[in-house]
Structure 1
Amino acid sequence: MPTFKTVIHPRYKKADGVFRVKIRITHNKQSRYIPTCYYASSSEVNEKFDFKRGTSYVRDTMPIIDEYRKICNKCADKIETMNVDQIVELIKNYKEDENFKLDFIAFGRRHIQQLRDNDHKGNADMYQCALNAFVRFLRRNKIDINEITSRVVKQFITFLENEKPRAGHKKGRRSPSLYCATLKALHNVAKAEYNDEDIGVIRIPLSPFSRTKVPPIPRTEKKPMTLEQLRAVFNVPDDDTFQRRGDYNIRNLGRDIGLLSFFLIGINTVDLYNCTGIQNGRLIYNRTKTKNRRQDKAKIDIRIEPEALALIEKYRDPTGVRLFEFHRKYANSDIFNAQVNKGLKRVGKVINFPDLETYTFRRTWASIAWNHCGIRDDIVNFALGHSPREEKKLAHIYITEDWNIVDKANRAVIDFVKSNQTEVSLTNSKYISNETAPEKSVQAPVAS
């Protein structure tokens, strides 16, 4: 157990001749000093730098030393394994923790800004949506983190389940699970920053999200297009109705970007918006959605097929700043994505697919590759830029990625869609199996 003594330190004599009174903490033959609010003059200190008789500093600082001993006694099971610096930190933190307050909303907004500053825009947007929903529920912009209990979380879930959607929007079913998971992550970030379990400093003791049963994330109802619907997109004619000067016809834009996404294996609009150029006939980029979560920065390397090149030339940036001119038409990728999806809703009316959106083309590529072209699911995952399954991650450390496999798979999918085939012949190939198999013809199932 550490010992405490009221002292002055001769090295820290101030210019006016006074000394700061300090509490010396000694533990395992090492000493550190915590300053008090008291000052002793030179006339109150003898030649050995002890307090002279008649001074009251030792008596005045006894309550401080008593408080320090109480703190150490509370953590007696840990004190013996701590060094003197950790004990000093423990004492200082305990003094600060008596009235600890943390505005959870303000903390969340600071964390969101840090995510944006570090180029984690997608995560920042998700945290922002969850925090905005929490503010709507609270009907105020401030709440202390220790006010958030499991009861509050349950009330928040009920609020989300009953909240009416915005005008013109459908009510989603994912918000209770998604927002609670996001706020739980934010709550854990705060605990990691302000708690220190190693030295017994627990400023945020509650775990309200862990103690509350959150509804599971419902299985998505969004489906890919059927083969017939995708082929119908190819035949959607140009819309010659009014468009603003210098802008695109919105239906034509939606159709073109949807097909371009398909030809480029489900590329997202944010990546189209930010693309900088073509390298040796290939589009090489880091997928924005996952590049900050993966060691390989979610690198994608796609050969540009002739069908894609025609659309690239149609929208190429004449200034050469980026590959496409979208950045000259729209202030950011979110606005670009919104316009594309508006156009796709109009395309969807033509092909009888009302929920058509950019991600539909990504799902459709994967479904046709698997269901109609017999491409192995691991190649489909690789082509889409998904991380390898947990049991295969170690192997991928040693594997040199060969994007030619993806090129062949993409060509096979495009050729199949452009043909009049409705059934596929599965033959021995690297796409289907590593073993020799006799050729057989099977009826291709409709993508669902």
Structure 2
Amino acid sequence: MATVKAVLRKKKNPEGHFPIAIRITKDRKSSYLGTGQYIEEKYWDEKNRCVRKSHPNANVINNFILIKTSEANTKVIEAETNLDYQTVSSIRKKIAGDKKIDFFAVAEIHLKNLQNRGKFHQYDTEVGRLKKFKKFLGRSQLSFNELNVSLLKKFEAYLLHDKKRSPRTVVNYLILIRTIYNLAISESIVDRGRYPFGKGKVQIKIPETQKIGLTSEEIQKLELTKDVTEAQQKALHVWLTSFYFAGIRVGDVLQLKWSDVKDGRLYYRMNKNSKLVSLKIPDKAKEIFKFYRKEIAAKNDLIFPYLEKVDLNNAQKVSTRTQTITRNLNRHLKKVSLKLKINKNMSMHIARHSFGNISGDKIPIQMLQKLYRHSSVTTTIQYQANFVHKDTDEALENVINF
């Protein structure tokens, strides 16, 4: 006889919550049905198989679990009254139904999760990638049975050769597809039997990317140039501010406020990981800030006025507007680099690479970790490896100079 129980599965989501599932066990084999409900582990009562009363929605969730468990029990009884032997997988399929599960339906759940977590830039990017995947397929529906190694290899070749996408961009597409497939597995929508990723299947290897920053001489050109338009000069102000503060991301620069400036220091919270940052304001940055304090009375207390007409409490609008502003800033920066004959791909993001390039191995790695706001020193070591070439250069010279 099969048994049906509510359980808390151990694979947590990005928010640190764990999924509640209905477990069907027969002949010491188990299969799971997702309920779509997630809670923190501390709220789960393992003994009574329910949510603790301390959870704000305990009654609602427990009633839902009771209904789902009852429905599963009914289906189990119906299946077991069949004269033919029923495996745990066949029982689960009868409960889940025979409908073909659509990949893009699960993709919508993934996109909704991104919105709920405030990842609006990632949301916009991945909506675009899914549209390209649909265009490759020539349709807007795809069952997980069809999502196999052969299809993924064809899509990979299509992106690389037909669309001339870089290997790193192709990897991003495959990571998205894998993420959606894993979501379907975690929600017990599909099982892992047909999983097309991993050893002997589609292996995702992130290629090394080339990070090139400006030299100190090139940055001095930017600092001293006068032959620029007003829009280009303001773009340079934003870029230099990012550089002066060890490569603050453009989204954070645009949201800097005068209230963040206290006693000669800049205090702000990073949007990417919510870390609090405190840095001394360099004299060069003070000169830029003076210009905006004197010339522009920015609304919303903003130092730079680009987001002054945007509701800063609306994360989605801020994200969308920031993307547009960044494109415009990059366009102005490219024009400046052409005038100054700086033959590098000038953009806002290269400010961070430029700080890494100039710091090289001059600053202890632990201090660079603090300046970059990296959670792990390993991340700092890997990042800085793009710019530290002294040892390898000397080794090469020692070999060939004979």
TM-score tier, shorter chain, comes to 0.5 to 0.7
Deviations 1:124-152 (A, max 9, x none): 34433432331222122221222201111
1:283 to 2:298 alignment: no
Contact 1:105 1:142 in 2 (8 A): yes
* Displacement of 1:36: 11
Structure 1 pair 145–299 and aligned structure 2 pair: CA distance change class (3 A): farther
TM-score, normalisation: structure 1: 0.59
**Long gaps (5+) in structure 1:** 4-31, 38-61, 77-89, 166-170, 196-201, 241-248, 292-296, 393-448
What amino acid maps onto 2:82 in structure 1? Answer: E
The corresponding residue for 1:67 is 82
1:306 to 2:306 alignment: no
* Displacement of 1:269: 1.1
TM-score, normalisation: structure 2: 0.65
Structure 1 pair 391–113 and aligned structure 2 pair: CA distance change class (3 A): closer
Of 174, 185, 195 in structure 2, the residue corresponding to residue 180 of structure 1 is 174
Identity in percent = 21
Superposed, 1:39-438 pairs within 5 Å as 65-67=80-82, 70-71=85-86, 74-75=87-88, 91=91, 93-164=92-163, 171-195=165-189, 203=191, 205-210=193-198, 211-214=200-203, 216-240=205-229, 249-276=230-257, 277-280=259-262, 281-289=264-272, 291=273, 297-315=274-292, 318-328=298-308, 332-349=321-338, 350-371=340-361, 374-389=362-377
Contact 1:233 1:351 in 2 (8 A): no
Q: 3-state DSSP class of the match of 1:108? A: helix
* Displacement of 1:222: 3.5
Contact 2:256 2:304 in 1 (8 A): yes
What amino acid maps onto 2:116 in structure 1? Answer: D
- Mapped partners of 1:103, 1:364: distance in 2: 45
Q: 3-state DSSP class of the match of 1:300? A: strand
Which has the greater radius of gyration? 1
Q: 3-state DSSP class of the match of 2:360? A: helix
Structure 1 pair 99–390 and aligned structure 2 pair: CA distance change class (3 A): same
Structure 1 pair 269–329 and aligned structure 2 pair: CA distance change class (3 A): farther
Q: CA RMSD in A?
A: 3.5
* Displacement of 1:175: 1.6
Deviations 1:41-97 (A, max 9, x none): xxxxxxxxxxxxxxxxxxxxx9754339733xx249xxxxxxxxxxxxx95x43134
**Structure showing greater relative contact order (alpha-carbon pairs closer than 8 Å, 6 or more residues apart):** 2
Q: 3-state DSSP class of the match of 2:145? A: helix
Q: 3-state DSSP class of the match of 1:216? A: coil
What amino acid maps onto 1:347 in structure 2? Answer: V
Structure 1 pair 214–33 and aligned structure 2 pair: CA distance change class (3 A): closer
Q: 3-state DSSP class of the match of 1:147? A: coil
- Mapped partners of 2:130, 2:270: distance in 1: 26
* Displacement of 1:238: 4.4
- Mapped partners of 1:222, 1:99: distance in 2: 50
Structure 1 pair 34–274 and aligned structure 2 pair: CA distance change class (3 A): closer
* Displacement of 1:309: 2.4
More helix by share: 2
- Mapped partners of 1:321, 1:353: distance in 2: 36
- Mapped partners of 2:72, 2:161: distance in 1: 55
What amino acid maps onto 1:333 in structure 2? Answer: T
Q: 3-state DSSP class of the match of 2:205? A: coil
* Displacement of 1:122: 4.2
